[in-house]
Amino acid sequence: MTLPRPRTSDSKSLKTPEGECRMSGIAERLRKEFRDLEYAEGYAESYLDSYIATQIKVLRQQRGLTQAELAAAMGTKQAAISRVENVNYSSWSVATLRNLAKAFRVRLHISFESFGTLPNEVDRFGKQTLERPPHESDPALWRQDDVPGETKVLIMPPVASRTEMFPMMVGTRPVIPHKPVSTASRMTIETTTYETTFSVGKK
């Protein structure tokens, strides 16, 4: 599979992420060639088809799904997935793209852009720029210690008999209690825990 290439005679084909091939200077060549509106329109249409089809495949593989598994999740046939992963496919519908976004647990973003933004986008085209994290592991939504469905609870013995502190987590992951600590250390931990709990409560 290849991306559309500049019409400059010394240009080489741009390969999709499977080929991991980059072209030096492609952005500058495209920037000049896009001054021809007809050429820019044709290139942009071809690139869009290649981009969508390739990203669908990249997202599917990123999630460890086969075409058949993705098709089952969407309630369609494997042939339909094979079709939309073909860079020559161009009969896109918003409904299909929305269903794919739901299956991948990402949002669908559609935007009108100027032609001048495309050269750099083509130059950056690659597997890493096409991958997207699913909702449950989106770093913009979850901190490293945030896990949906879990609540951290500090269980303390009565003050008179307090010799150890056992921070426990109630949730889906097991947590090993802390070892006994000295009084000085325990006081520090208790204060920190209280401050953290208070801060969360205010939110």
Q: Which range has the worst mean pLDDT, 55-69, 98-112, 158-172?
A: 158-172
Instruction: Supply the mean pLDDT for the chain.
Output: 75
| Residue 133 CB coordination number (10 Å) | 15
Q: Does 135 have pLDDT greater than 90?
A: yes
- Provide the H-helix boundaries in 35-87: 37-62, 67-74, 78-84
Beta strands in the chain (DSSP E): 2-3, 14-15, 151-155, 166-170
Question: Rounded to an integer, what distance in angstroms lies between the CA atom of residue 150 and that of residue 173?
Answer: 8
Report domain extents, the chain. 2-137, 151-202
CATH topology of domain 2-137: 434 Repressor (Amino-terminal Domain) (1.10.260)
Per-residue pLDDT tens over the stretch 72-113: 999 999 999 999 999 999 999 999 999 999 999 999 999 999
State which amino acid sits at residue 86: N
CA distance 65 to 71: 10
pLDDT digits (tens, 9 = 90+) for 2-34: 566 666 543 344 444 444 444 458 999 999 999
The pLDDT score that the predictor gives to residue 165 is 47
> Against a cut of 0.75, is the pTM above it?
no
| Per-residue tokens: 29 | 């060549």
Q: Work out the pLDDT band at 35, boundaries 50, 70, 90.
A: very high
The one-letter amino acid code at 78 reads Q
